[in-house]
Structure 1
Amino acid sequence: MKRRTLLASAALAMGLASAGFAADKTKVGFVYVGPVGDGGWTYEHDQGRKAVVEAFGDKVETVYVESVPEGPDAERVMTQMALEGADLIFTTSFGYMDQTINVAKKFPNVKFEHATGYKTADNVSVYSARFYEGRAVQGHIAGKMTESNVVGYIASFPIPEVIRGINSAYIHAKKVNPDVEFKIIWAYTWFDPAKEADAAKALIEQGADVILQHTDSTAPLAAASEAGNVIGFGQASDMAEYKDGPRVSSIIDNWAPYYIERTQAVMEGTWESVSTWDGIGAGMVGIGEITDKVPADVKAEAEAMKFELATGKYHAFTGPLNKQDGTPWLAAGETADDGTLAGMNFYVEGIDAEIPN
């Protein structure tokens, strides 16, 4: 589902050329779906890589390849990293799942960590963040602040992670604004500033005065800035360069503690295959500064929700909730189980859109 082969090949050559191969060093590889300068998803993963270097100094060596398409080229990149002596490889996009499993079978002594997927093996762990908790906070702010009652959502691919985010944002916008409407555009990309900008502009033309995104660049915020009187949120990173403009808060992915912990486990020989899914409480999901553009009472409500999500006093998917077709899903006070959330393939009641095949 993601891209760019020539750049990936060049980056691999440079990344591997820069590596030393001292036997006493643990070598850690990172496969990125976007460029490290995307300002969002890949940027934050690379901040995690840098944290590993800072934590372990000359005991660790890191290499990375950026802008690797989700498909056969990803398998080639992972294979070459393993052949070049990587002890641990982080593959940081959902679409790398099958490639990660395939390469792991060939290199049973190499440890693999796959982000946002669900397939494991003896030498493959999976990890993800409960981004939907951050979407709940964003939805609350969006529902309170929209004047047109139209919220635009730029979606990447129709996978459970993205569908969960749309549902969570909608549920919480609808709770505080019964008249709110979501308009969704599927960009079919994780990072393509031109497509993301076009999607944002199309949503604004349809009346949206709040833009949410599950894509990786700052282009939607730039489009909101050009439009004026449109607000948006940082995605995956703080995107604080827009905090004096349309950005009123953000979801921040904090991978550093996990990357340090898992690298330490490899060094100590204690690494085991695990499935990790952490949220605001564990610090894997951060809520960026809520700016003064948000009214004080709305800001206080959002901060209170963040606290309740972090402490487990509140779950973002709490009934009563129905599925889009009106069939009951969660009874009053009932919360969604992780299995349903992990495989979510339906919208909740009230969303007037279809999930693409």
Structure 2
Amino acid sequence: MRILYVDDDPALARLATRVLARSDFTVVHAPSIEIGLELFAAETFEAVVLDHYFENQTGLNFLEAIAEIGKPTPVLYVTGSSDADVAIRALKGGAADYVVKTATDDFFPLLISALNQAMENSRLRSEKQEADRQLVVAKERAELLLAEMNHRIANSLSLVSAMIRMQMQIAGSEETKTALNETQNRITAIAGVHRSLYTSEIIGEVELDVYLGPLLAELHGSSTIARGITLKSQLCRISTTADKAVALGVILIELVTNATKYAYTAGAGEVRVVLDATDDGFAVLSVEDDGIGYDRSVGPKGTGLGTRLINAMGTTLGAEISYGHDGKADGTYVAVRWQQ
């Protein structure tokens, strides 16, 4: 193990070379700070033993200079017995430890012990830095793979949606076209979640306003909604998991589709979507219209698949689904309330 010994006392340096050699240290002596800096920059050492007092400088100048080089080599600072303040300044300047220079036989055993401890600490720090680096690389790779997976899933679902759109064009009946169109909207809701996942800064979380806003815009532009229907939305910033986002997307698609299909017999009106958080830790997604209203005792119109999907997704969320405003007779109001 090569040690750079920076000391302007040649007799002590020769003694240090002999004593440290017994503990398998090879000492390279630098009689001045300038030579020490040249050797430190040009060669590799396991540690540096640095004296404090030199003719025109101190070891603190050496510490200041090597800080700019950036090598992680530990430095043991050698001070006199009454130089506690110097030792503190040396530690603040980057020294790994200090050893008090004495005239007794304890100096070199303490120096050898401090050298071994400093090199062991340096090795542990290097291993930790390498482990941290590998952890960052692995995390970045995992995030990249996850983003790529969500990107591919979103693209694949978009391809399926395009196939359904082609199938709609050749379908023979309006009932079949309607069923395919509704299926296409459901696929769009799921694809939107994966699109949000690979563009999100937080892995595994979906910001509902970022996800539901484009979903409503795409739904509004589709052939599902009559041209006289206006969609208005007020979405606050709420983050949730991908599973909950899928459930909420499907519920929203079904509620908005039902409102635009059945609420306004004249084919014109307004549908309002609100996403908000409550003070008690819950979130509420509501869809409201001013149309003819919905009589739950009569049962769902059409096949009833939409109602079954809403109930199934509500179970997935662990949500409470309520119908109707208190004291309001006109229109339909459906609210989905779940724990954030």
TM-score after normalising by structure 1: 0.22
Higher relative contact order (CA 8 A, sep 6+): 1
Q: Which has the larger radius of gyration?
A: 2
The structure with more helix, counted as a fraction of residues: 2
TM-score after normalising by structure 2: 0.23
